[in-house]
């Protein structure tokens, strides 16, 4: 049986991935002894838990050694829309990679290393540029987690610009895409957007969350949450490529996804949970 490892992936996603793919999880790649890894390994790779570029570069050096030693056959990289230069229309995979924040710089750096490893080591690489995934196990300070937690506890919610738009993808749909790539994509270098393709402003997200939960909370404008270096005004994925080449399409809408996530939030608040 082929081995699938996951590393540097945001921990809240791991239980969802493990429902579809039997992965062994390690928070950081450097904790793995790649010389003891079996050959023909598939790696689900993120870019979390690298506090600086020095640590990220060290991780990429180890990844290069693992690829050169023949341990890796496939890498599925969970990248981010932040590799794109901000614009006011849906992002296409052919758009320039020109990040404007630190998350984007890290993601773009890993993408470039993987492109080199694909050409030099002949491993299969698929890059999934994620657009605001959310779901159970995700809590604050992530936006959806923060909104639902505030509504559940009736606490104040501090928000910056309510007019900024985002593309929210329920985690089960993201995992279905990861699973599809894991099973079906066996060679080449591929890039796919992983989003819903739907535009939702932060204000609309709050209203939809109120509708789902039947609860309300006080919204307080917080200027500190408006960070020009980090914030994109418009974030929507063009998911045509994934639809046409993989036959993938999200199946869980925002209202259903928020409802499922809210049930988990309520469960966390029960005594002993």
Q: What is the CATH number of the domain that holds 17?
A: 3.40.50.720
Q: Is the pLDDT of residue 75 over 90?
A: yes
Q: Is the pLDDT of residue 261 over 60?
A: yes
DSSP 119-155: HHH--EEEEEEE--EE-TT--TTSHHHHHHHHHHHT-
pLDDT, tens digit, 9 for 90 and up, residues 119-169: 999 899 999 999 999 999 998 889 999 999 999 998 888 887 889 999 999
Residue 24 structure tokens: 């062994």
Among 13-22, 206-215, 217-226, name the one with the lowest average pLDDT. 217-226
254 within a domain of the structure (yes/no)? no
28 within a domain of the structure (yes/no)? yes
Q: Is the pLDDT of residue 67 over 60?
A: yes
Confidence at residue 227, expressed as pLDDT on a 0 to 100 scale: 62
Residue positions counted in the chain: 273
Confidence at residue 122, expressed as pLDDT on a 0 to 100 scale: 81
* DSSP assignment letter at 271: T
Confidence at residue 35, expressed as pLDDT on a 0 to 100 scale: 66
19 pLDDT band, cuts 50/70/90, is very high
Confidence at residue 273, expressed as pLDDT on a 0 to 100 scale: 41
17 within a domain of the structure (yes/no)? yes
215 within a domain of the structure (yes/no)? no
- Stated as kind and residue range, the H or E segment containing 65 is helix 53-68
Look at the block and give the residue holding tokens 């924040």: 101
Q: Is the pLDDT of residue 266 over 90?
A: yes
Confidence at residue 240, expressed as pLDDT on a 0 to 100 scale: 98
2 pLDDT band, cuts 50/70/90, is confident
- Produce one character per residue of 200-232: b if its CB has 16 or more CB atoms within 10 Å, e if not: bebeebbebbeebbeeebeeeeeeeeeeeeeeb
Confidence at residue 230, expressed as pLDDT on a 0 to 100 scale: 60
**Total domains in the fold of the chain:** 1
Confidence at residue 167, expressed as pLDDT on a 0 to 100 scale: 98
Confidence at residue 272, expressed as pLDDT on a 0 to 100 scale: 45
* DSSP assignment letter at 23: -
144 within a domain of the structure (yes/no)? no
Please state the pTM of the whole predicted model: 0.94
230 within a domain of the structure (yes/no)? no
Of 131, 153, 133, 141, the residue nearest 262 (C-alpha): 153
Q: Is the pLDDT of residue 65 over 50?
A: yes
Strands 165-166 and 200-201: antiparallel
In contact, 64 and 29? CB cutoff 8 Å: no
* Collapsed DSSP state (helix, strand, coil) of residue 104: helix
Average pLDDT, the chain: 91
Of 257 and 29, the one with more pLDDT: 257
Averaged pLDDT, 206-225: 87
Confidence at residue 29, expressed as pLDDT on a 0 to 100 scale: 86
Range of the domain at 53: 4-134+170-195
231 within a domain of the structure (yes/no)? no
Confidence at residue 225, expressed as pLDDT on a 0 to 100 scale: 65
100 within a domain of the structure (yes/no)? yes
Residue 53 structure tokens: 């570029």
């Amino acid at each position: 049986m082929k081995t699938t490892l996951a590393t540097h992936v945001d921990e809240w996603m791991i239980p969802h991935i493990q429902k579809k793919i039997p992965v062994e999880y390690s928070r950081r790649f450097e904790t793995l002894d790649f010389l003891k890894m079996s050959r023909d390994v598939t790696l689900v790779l993120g870019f979390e838990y690298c506090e600086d570029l020095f640590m990220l570069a060290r991780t990429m050096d180890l990844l290069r050694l693992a690829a050169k030693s023949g341990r890796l056959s496939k890498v599925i990289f969970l990248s981010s829309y932040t590799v794109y230069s901000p614009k006011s229309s849906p992002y296409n995979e052919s758009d320039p990679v020109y990040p404007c924040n630190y998350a984007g710089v890290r993601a773009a750096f890993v993408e470039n290393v993987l492109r080199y490893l694909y050409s030099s080591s002949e491993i299969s690489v698929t890059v999934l540029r994620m657009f605001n995934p959310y779901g159970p196990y995700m809590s604050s300070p992530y936006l959806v987690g923060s909104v639902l937690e505030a509504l559940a506890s009736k606490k104040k919610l501090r928000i910056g610009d309510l007019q900024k738009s985002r593309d929210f993808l329920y985690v089960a749909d993201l995992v279905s895409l990861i699973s599809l790539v894991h099973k079906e994509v066996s060679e080449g270098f591929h890039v796919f957007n992983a989003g819903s393709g739907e535009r939702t402003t932060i204000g609309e997200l709050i209203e939809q969350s109120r509708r789902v939960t039947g609860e309300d909370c006080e919204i307080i404008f917080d200027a500190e949450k408006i960070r020009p270096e980090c914030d994109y005004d418009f974030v929507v994925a063009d998911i045509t490529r994934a639809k046409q080449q993989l036959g993938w399409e999200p199946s869980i809408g925002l209202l259903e996804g928020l409802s499922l996530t809210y049930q988990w939030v309520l469960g966390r608040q029960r005594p002993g949970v």
